[in-house]
Amino acid sequence: MSDLEMVPAVESAALRRMPNGEFVFTLGRALKIIQSCSSSGIAVLGLEVFPGLNVSTYDQHLKSPEDERYWPGYVRACNALAEDFVRKNPAPGTDECILTTASWREFCGLESQVKAMSKRKSWW
C-alpha cells in the first residue's frame, strides 16, 4: 500500500486505478489532491495528463534532499511546481492524470533502487 492511499479524500477523488495500482484523477481534482499531499508530507514528483500526454519535467530541476530535515521544503517546492503545472496546463479539467508521489520513506526506497541500478550498470 502506498502512502498516497492513506491521504484522506484520495480514494474518493479517484476515477479508477490502473492495473499497476496508480490512481487516475481528473485534472480538475488534481489541485485538491496535491494540497492534501502537501499537508500529509507527500511530494508530488511528477504528473502525466492524458489523452494528450502532457508530462511534467519540473522534478528534473530539483535537487534531492540530503536527509529528512530537508524533506518538508522539498515537498513544498515539488507541490508548488505541481500546482503550477496543473494551473498552466491547457488540457480541459475533465482530462485524466496520474500523480507520481512519494513520502520520505518511499523516497528513500527509490533512492536506494537508483543507487543499486547505477552500481549494476558500472559492472557492464
Give the pLDDT score at 8. 85
Residue 39, pLDDT above cutoff 90 = yes
Distance from C-alpha of 26 to C-alpha of 12, rounded to nearest angstrom: 12
Class of 3-123 in CATH: alpha beta
For residue 50, report the phi and psi dihedrals to the nearest 5 degrees. Answer: -135, 155
Asked if 27 and 96 touch (Cβ cutoff 8 Å), the reply is yes
Task: Report the helix count and the strand count for the chain, using DSSP H and E.
Answer: 4, 5
pLDDT tens track for 55-79: 999 999 899 998 999 999 999 999 9
Residue 124, pLDDT above cutoff 60 = no
